[in-house]
Chain A
Amino acid sequence: MRNLWIGIIILTLFNACKSNTKTALPILGYKTPVTKTVNGKTVTDTEYATIPPFKFVNQYADTITEKSLDGKIYVADFFFTTCPSICPVMHRNMLNVYKEFKDDNNFRIISHTIDPKYDTVPVLKRYADKLGIAGNTWWLLHGEKGDTYKIAKSYLQSVSEKNPKGEYIHDGFFILIDKQKRLRGTYEGTDPAEVTKLIADIKTLKAEPDQIAAK
């Protein structure tokens, strides 16, 4: 009888732990309390930072705006095609994300070039072909330098002009954005283990009720 109780206690604790690990992904970014009037009553709600509207052009010369990503979970990063350092590693890893979700029309990858002068649309298309990506899962985005650098801040990324050695400086993070355009995770794009976690997190995110409900 005593053993039975101990067994039940252990089982309960075990289950408690298990349900703990099954939580949804956190919401990142700046929080602002917003006071609204709903049905004549004043309520204070928390609003999370979201990615603001934007307009870029992809490797097919199609215009891409925030509306192109409505109803989609997506991953963003910053790169340039002639980057000798971390970009090949990042995109070798990003290819795994691409392969995992390329048949899911509600998923996208966007890679912003931070060197729009060299990385013109044809250069981006050639890069995409050589990388072996096709279709609309992974867009390589070209835009005004100022626009790209500004949007990078919304993704909590820092990119900057060439350093004295003539290299661009940028973070190698992959940023996970949900259908409400909120930041849900940042992952070191050069680390295969972090990218494996990103793939798992995308699956977790896709299963969240407010992601399933969102259009």
Chain B
Amino acid sequence: MKLKVIGAIAVLLIVIGASCQSDDQIEFKRYYSAGSLVYQQHCQNCHGDKGQGLSSLIPPLTDSTYLKNNKTVLACFIKNGLKGKITVAGKTFDDQMQADDIAPLEIAKVLTYVTNSFGNKMGTITLQQVQNDLKNCK
């Protein structure tokens, strides 16, 4: 009897675990595909269809290390713009990106797209994360 209960609980846990995981995956796919549209409309002109950037004028979005190191401020970059010297993919950029006043959910989607495209693989950047990060913008 005891064994059966434990067994049932174990099965239940596995089922919950599995369904949670697929929920995560579904959430990721939703964010990612919606994010690709936001990217096309708001970012692609400058950063390019392959995230390649433009010479030394606009940095590429292919530097996974840079993106990881700045993960918690990426939302601020979009919301408030970015100005000054940065080093991306071994090159120095000293220009500015205009602020783009899009909703936090749009930011989450586009960042999920960017950080999982062009050779990046950072998983979902959720709405909650974005809202937290936006509170801490400098």
- Residues of chain A having any CB pair with chain B under 8 Å: 84-86, 88-89, 91-92, 95, 127, 129-132
A88–B54 CB distance below 8 A: yes
Whether A88 pairs with B98 at a CB distance below 8 angstroms is: no
The smallest C-beta distance from B90 to any residue of chain A, in angstroms, reads: 15
Bound-state Cα–Cα, A39 to B11, Å? 103
Q: Is the CB of A132 within 8 A of B56?
A: yes
B interface residues, how many (CB within 8 angstroms): 12
Q: Within 8 Å CB of A88, what residues of B?
A: 45-46, 54, 57-58
Chain B residues lying within 8 Å of A129, measured Cβ to Cβ, are 56
Residue in B closest to A92 when the chains form the complex, CB atoms: B54
Enumerate chain A residues within 8 angstroms of B58, measured Cβ to Cβ: 88
Min CB distance B34 to A, Å, is 22
Please state if B57 and A131 are interface contacts (CB–CB under 8 Å).
yes
Is the CB of B55 closer than 8 A to any CB of chain A? Answer: yes
Q: Encode contact with A along B47-63: 1 for CB under 8 Å, 0 otherwise.
A: 01000101111100000
Question: B46 to A132, Cβ gap below 8 A?
Answer: no
Q: Which residue on A lies nearest to B52, using beta carbons?
A: A92
Say whether chain A's binding surface is mostly helix, strand, loop, or mixed.
helix
- Complex: chain A residue closest to B44, CB-CB: A89
Q: Nearest chain A CB to B85's CB is how many angstroms away?
A: 13
| B56–A84 CB distance below 8 A | no
Query: A91 to chain B: which residues have CB within 8 Å?
Result: 54
A86 touches B56 (CB 8 A): no
Chain B residues contacting A84 (CB-CB under 8 Å) are 45-46, 98
List, in ascending order, chain B residues with CB within 8 A of A92's CB. 48, 52, 54
* Bound-complex Cα distance A86 to B98 (A): 15
B56 proximity list for chain A (CB < 8 A): 129-132
**A88–B47 alpha-carbon span in the complex (Å):** 8
**Contact across chains for A130 and B45 when beta carbons are under 8 A apart:** no
- Complex contacts, B45 vs chain A, CB 8 Å: 84-86, 88-89
CA A132 to CA B57, docked complex, whole Å: 9
Give the distance in Å from the alpha carbon of A68 to the alpha carbon of B44 in the complex.
Answer: 36
Of chain A, the residue at the smallest CB distance from B46 is A88
Across-interface contacts of A131 in B (CB, < 8 A):
54-57
Q: Which residues of B are found within 8 Å of A130, using beta-carbon distances?
A: 55-57, 95
Whole-angstrom CA separation of A84 from B96 in the bound complex: 11
Closest chain A CB from B118 CB (angstroms): 15
Nearest B residue to A84 via CB reads: B98
- Please measure, in the bound complex, the distance between the C-alpha atom of A130 and the C-alpha atom of B94, giving whole angstroms: 10
Q: How far is the CB of B137 from chain A (nearest CB, A)?
A: 21
User: CB-CB < 8 A to A127: which residues of B?
Assistant: 57
Q: How far is the CA of A169 from the CA of B57 in the complex (A)?
A: 22
Rounded to whole Å, the gap between the CB of B63 and the closest CB of chain A is 18
State in angstroms the CA–CA spacing of A89 and B48 once bound together.
7
Q: How far is the CB of A102 from chain B (nearest CB, A)?
A: 14
- The answer for the CA separation of A131 and B55 in the assembled complex, in Å, is 5
- A88 to B56 Cα, complex, angstroms: 12
A130 and B55 CA atoms in complex are apart in Å by 6
Query: When chains A and B are docked, how far (Å) is the Cα of A91 from the Cα of B56?
Result: 12
Complex contacts, B44 vs chain A, CB 8 Å: 89
Residue of A nearest to B95 (CB): A130
